[in-house]
Chain A
Amino acid sequence: MSENILLAHGSGSKLSHDLIEKNFLAPLANPLLAKLDDSAVFDLSGRLAFTTDSYVVSPIFFPGGDIGKLAVCGTVNDLAMSGAVPLYLSLSLIIEEGLALDELDRVVNSIKTAAEEAGVNIVTGDTKVVNRGSADKLFINTSGIGVVPLGIDISGANATVGDKIILSGAIGDHGIAVMSQREGLKFSVPVQSDCAPLNKLVSQMLQVSSHIHCLRDPTRGGLATALNEFAKQSNVGIKIEEERIPVQEGVRAACELLGFDPLYIANEGKLVAIVDSHDADRILTTMKQDPYGASSSIIGEVTEGHRGRVVMKTRLGASRIVDMLSGELLPRIC
Chain B
Amino acid sequence: MKFIDEYRDAELARKLVTRIEQLSTRPARLMEFCGGHTVAIMRNGIRQLLPPTVEMLSGPGCPVCVTANADIDKAIALSRLPDVIVTTFGDMIKVPGSYSSLQQARAEGADIRIVYSTQDALQIARDNPRKSVIFIGIGFETTAPTIAASILQAEQEKFENFYLLCLLKLCPPVMKAILNLGEIKLDGIVCPGHVSAIIGSRPYEFIPRDYSVACVVSGFEPLDILLSVAMLVEQNEEGKPGVEIAYRRVVKPEGNKRALELIDEIFEVDAADWRGIGIIRDSGLKMGKAYGRFDAERAFTITPGPVREAKGCICGDILRGVKTPVDCKLFREVCLPEHPVGPCMVSSEGACAAYYQYGDGYE
Contact = CB atoms under 8 A, between A and B. Distances in A.
Contacts of B49: 316-318
A314 B4 CA distance: 16
Interface residues of B, number: 28
Given A249-B1, A326-B336, A327-B338, A318 B44 contact: yes
B4 A316 contact: no
A306 B46 CA distance: 20
A256 interface: yes
A320 B1 contact: no
B222 interface: yes
Contact of A314 (B45, B94, B356): B45
A220 interface: no
A320 B354 CA distance: 11
Interface stretch (B7-15, B258-266, B282-290, B306-314): B7-15
A318 B17 CA distance: 12
A252 B10 CA distance: 18
B4 A321 contact: no
Interface in A311-334: 311, 314-321, 323, 326-327
B272 to A, nearest CB: 25
A9 interface: no
Interface in A268-317: 305-306, 309, 311, 314-317
A320 B42 contact: yes
Contacts of A31: none
Contacts of A309: 359, 362
B357 interface: yes
Given A259-B348, A316-B45, A320-B43, A306 B338 contact: no
Nearest to B355: A321
A253, A259, A317, A323 — which one has the most chain B CB atoms within 10 A of its CB? Answer: A317
A288 to B, nearest CB: 25
Interface string B338-363: 10000000001000000011111111
A318 B46 contact: yes
Contact of A316 (B13, B348, B362): B13
Question: Most B CB atoms within 10 A — which of A252, A256, A320?
Answer: A320
Of the candidates B44, B356, B359, B362, the one having the most CB atoms from chain A within 10 angstroms of its own CB is B362
Contacts of B1: 249, 252-253, 256
A227 to B, nearest CB: 14
B337 A326 contact: yes
B48 interface: yes
Nearest to B362: A311
Contacts of B361: 319
A306 B14 contact: no
Given A249-B1, A259-B348, A314-B45, A320 B358 contact: yes
B35 to A, nearest CB: 12
Contacts of A311: 359, 362-363
Contact of A319 (B4, B8, B348, B363): B363
Given A249-B1, A316-B13, A318-B49, A327 B362 contact: no
Nearest to B346: A327
Interface in A194-252: 249, 252
B112 to A, nearest CB: 15
A306 B336 contact: no
A318 B4 contact: no
A67 B1 CA distance: 31
Most buried by B among A253, A315, A318, A321: A318
B338 to A, nearest CB: 5
A311 B357 CA distance: 11
Contacts of B46: 316, 318
Interface of A: 249, 252-253, 256, 259, 305-306, 309, 311, 314-321, 323, 326-327
Given A320-B43, A321-B359, 11 more contacts: A306-B362, A311-B359, A315-B8, A316-B10, A316-B222, A317-B14, A318-B45, A319-B45, A323-B357, A326-B336, A327-B338
30 contacts: A256-B4, A305-B363, A306-B362, A311-B362, A311-B363, A314-B43, A314-B45, A315-B8, A315-B10, A315-B44, A315-B222, A316-B13, A316-B44, A316-B45, A316-B46, A316-B49, A316-B222, A317-B14, A318-B44, A318-B48, A319-B362, A320-B44, A320-B45, A320-B358, A320-B360, A321-B358, A321-B359, A323-B356, A326-B336, A327-B94
